[in-house]
Structure 1
Amino acid sequence: MTPTSNFSHRGWTFSSVHKPISDARDIDNDLAWLQTHAHAGANTNGPNATGVADTDTATPAPGLHALPEMYFGNNSLEIRHPASGLALRFDPRQALACVEVGASGKRWQKIKVKAAETWQRRMEAQRAQRSASRTSSNVTPPPTSDKSPHRADGPHDVNPFDIRPEDIQVTPKPYDWTFSTDYVGTVTGATPEPTDEELPLHKLRVQEPILFYDENILYEDELGDNGVSKYSIKIRVMPSCFFILARLFLRVDNVMFALHDTRIYHAFGSDCLLREYSTRNVDYMSVKDRALRECGSSASPGFGSPGLSRAPVLGARPPAGLRGVGGLVGGGGAGAIQGGSATNLADPDHPMVPTLLTNEGWVGQVVAELSEPNEVKKEKIVLGTVVAEAIPH
Structure 2
Amino acid sequence: MMIHGFRSSHQDFTFGAWTLTASKTHIMKSADVEKLADEMHIPALPEMMFGDNVLRIQHSSGFGIEFNAKDALKCVNKYQGMLKVACAEEWQESRSEPEHSKETVKPYDWTYTTDYKGTLLGDSSTFKVVPTTDRIDTEKLKAREQIMFFDEVLLFEDELHDHGVSSLSVKIRVMPSSFFLLLRFFLRVDGVMIRMNDTRLYHEGDKNFMLREYTSRESKIASLKHVPAALYTEPNEISQYLPVTQAIYEKLEFPEMADCKPLASSDNKTKMQPRPT
Calculate the TM-score normalised by the size of structure 1: 0.56
Q: Are residues 1:33 and 2:36 paired? A: no
Give 2:109's aligned residue: 176
Contact 2:87 2:163 in 1 (8 A): no
Q: CA deviation at 1:219?
A: 0.4
Give 2:77's aligned residue: 100
Identity %: 39
Give 2:85's aligned residue: 113
Q: Which amino acid aligns with 1:31?
A: A
Q: Which amino acid aligns with 1:93?
A: K
Q: Which of 1 and 2 has greater Rg?
A: 1
Count of residues paired in the alignment: 234
Q: CA deviation at 1:17?
A: 0.9
Q: CA deviation at 1:360?
A: 2.4
Q: Are residues 1:363 and 2:238 paired? A: yes
Give 2:16's aligned residue: 10
Listed as ranges, the gaps of 5+ residues in structure 2 are 1-6, 90-102, 258-277
Q: CA deviation at 1:288?
A: 4.6
Distance in 2 of aligned mates of 1:383 and 1:99 = 28
Distance in 1 of aligned mates of 2:139 and 2:234 = 25
| Counterpart among 249, 252, 267 of residue 186 in structure 2 | 249
Give 1:90's aligned residue: 67
Distance in 2 of aligned mates of 1:183 and 1:280 = 14
Q: Are residues 1:231 and 2:156 paired? A: no
Distance in 2 of aligned mates of 1:243 and 1:65 = 35
Give 2:93's aligned residue: none
Ranges of 4+ aligned residues in structure 1 off by more than 6 Å: none
SS at match of 1:68: coil
Listed as ranges, the gaps of 5+ residues in structure 1 are 35-62, 118-169, 292-352, 387-393
Distance in 2 of aligned mates of 1:72 and 1:287 = 32
Q: Which amino acid aligns with 1:96?
A: L
SS at match of 1:176: coil
SS at match of 2:153: strand
Contact 1:113 1:226 in 2 (8 A): no
Q: Are residues 1:72 and 2:50 paired? A: yes
Contact 2:43 2:105 in 1 (8 A): no
SS at match of 2:169: strand
Give 2:254's aligned residue: 383
Q: CA deviation at 1:171?
A: 5.2
Give 1:260's aligned residue: 197
Q: CA deviation at 1:172?
A: 4.8
Distance in 2 of aligned mates of 1:280 and 1:86 = 30
1:93-242 to structure 2, matched below 5 A, reads 93-103=70-80, 108-109=81-82, 111-114=83-86, 172-188=105-121, 189-242=126-179
Q: CA deviation at 1:385?
A: 5.1
Distance in 2 of aligned mates of 1:33 and 1:89 = 21
Distance 1:225-1:86 versus aligned 2 partners, 3 A rule: same
Query: CA RMSD for the aligned pairs?
Result: 2.1
Distance in 2 of aligned mates of 1:222 and 1:176 = 14
Calculate the TM-score normalised by the size of structure 2: 0.78
Q: Which amino acid aligns with 1:69?
A: E
Q: Judging by fraction of residues, say which structure has more strand.
A: 2
SS at match of 1:217: strand
Distance 1:115-1:176 versus aligned 2 partners, 3 A rule: closer
Q: Are residues 1:280 and 2:217 paired? A: yes
SS at match of 2:226: helix
Give 2:92's aligned residue: none
Distance 1:68-1:180 versus aligned 2 partners, 3 A rule: same
Contact 1:13 1:81 in 2 (8 A): yes
